[in-house]
C-alpha cells in the first residue's frame, strides 16, 4: 500500500516516556526525528496527539469534575502536547503548522480541512490539536474524523504495543498478533483498539487503520515502507 498522505495518531501517555506524568524530552525528540524522516520521504503528515499524560477528562469526571469541563481540560492538554511537538520539529528544521479545533490564536490557527491540506502540500507537518472541539469525543475519534477530512490514505495509530492481538499481550502470554483484521472482526471480538465511534467512522469512510509500536525508534518509517510490523485494520 502506497501512502501519499497519512493521519498519525500519537498517544499522550507515550509522551511520558519514563516519567510519571508530563513530557519526556527524549521521547519527544525521538518522535520528532521519526516524523521528520517520514516527511523527508515525501509523505504528507497530519498529526493528532492525545492528552492523557497531562489530564484525562473521563477520569477527571469520576473525581468530581463536570464531564464537559473535564473534557475541555483534556482538549487543552492536547494543545500543550501539540505545541511541544511543534517546538521539537522546529528545532530539527522540520516545518510544521499547529491548528486548533477551538479558536485560540495566537497559540494556533483555527482548524479547517482546506488550510490543513494547504499546509501539508507545502511539505509542512499539520499538527491538529484540541480533539474534535467537543466534549464526549476521544482523541481516537478526533483522529478518525481528521483522517477522513484531510483525505488521508490511512490512519496510523502509534501505541505502546506492536499491533492488535487476540488478547492483551501484557496479561496473556498466548496472545498472538493479527497481521490484518477487518473492522467487523475487531467489533465482534470486542478488541479494544479504538472506541466504537472512531472504529465506525473509519469503517464507514473506508479509512484503513495501521496499529503499530511508535515507541521503538525507526518503526514509523518501517511501517510506512510496508515492513511486517503492526496490524492493518480494513473493510
Provide the edge-to-edge strand list for the sheet that holds 209-213.
109-110, 96-100, 125-129, 44-49, 5-10, 154-159, 209-213, 231-234, 180-182
CA dist., res. 10 & res. 22, Å (int) = 15
For the chain, what is the mean pLDDT?
A: 95
**114 contacts: CB under 8 Å, gap ≥ 6:** none
Domain boundaries defined on the chain: 5-234
pLDDT tens-digit readout, 102-147 = 999 999 999 999 999 999 999 999 999 999 999 999 999 999 999 9
pLDDT of residue 169: 84
In CATH, what is the architecture of 5-234? 3-Layer(aba) Sandwich (3.40)
pTM of the model: 0.95
Amino acid at each position: 500500500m502506497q501512502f501519499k498522505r497519512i493521519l498519525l495518531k500519537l498517544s499522550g501517555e507515550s509522551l511520558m516516556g519514563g516519567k510519571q506524568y508530563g513530557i519526556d524530552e527524549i521521547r519527544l525528540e525521538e518522535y520528532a526525528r521519526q516524523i521528520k524522516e517520514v516527511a523527508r520521504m515525501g509523505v504528507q503528515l497530519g498529526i493528532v496527539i492525545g492528552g492523557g499524560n497531562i489530564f484525562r477528562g473521563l477520569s477527571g469526571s469520576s473525581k468530581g469534575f463536570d464531564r464537559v469541563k473535564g473534557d475541555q481540560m483534556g482538549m487543552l492538554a492536547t494543545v500543550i502536547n501539540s505545541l511541544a511537538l511543534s517546538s521539537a520539529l522546529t528545532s530539527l528544521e522540520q516545518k510544521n503548522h499547529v491548528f486548533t479545533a477551538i479558536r485560540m490564536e495566537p497559540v494556533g490557527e483555527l482548524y479547517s480541512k482546506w488550510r490543513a491540506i494547504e499546509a501539508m502540500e507545502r511539505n509542512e507537518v499539520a499538527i491538529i490539536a484540541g480533539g474534535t472541539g467537543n466534549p464526549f469525543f476521544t482523541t481516537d475519534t478526533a483522529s478518525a474524523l481528521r483522517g477522513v477530512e484531510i483525505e488521508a490514505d490511512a490512519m496510523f495509530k502509534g501505541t505502546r504495543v506492536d499491533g492488535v492481538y487476540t488478547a492483551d499481550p501484557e496479561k496473556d502470554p498466548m496472545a498472538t498478533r493479527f497481521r490484518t483484521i477487518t473492522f467487523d472482526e475487531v467489533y465482534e471480538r470486542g478488541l479494544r483498539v479504538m472506541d466504537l465511534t472512531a472504529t465506525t467512522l473509519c469503517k464507514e469512510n473506508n479509512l484503513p487503520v495501521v496499529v503499530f509500536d511508535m515507541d521503538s525508534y525507526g518503526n514509523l518509517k518501517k511501517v510506512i515502507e510496508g515492513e511486517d510490523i503492526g496490524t492493518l485494520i480494513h473493510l
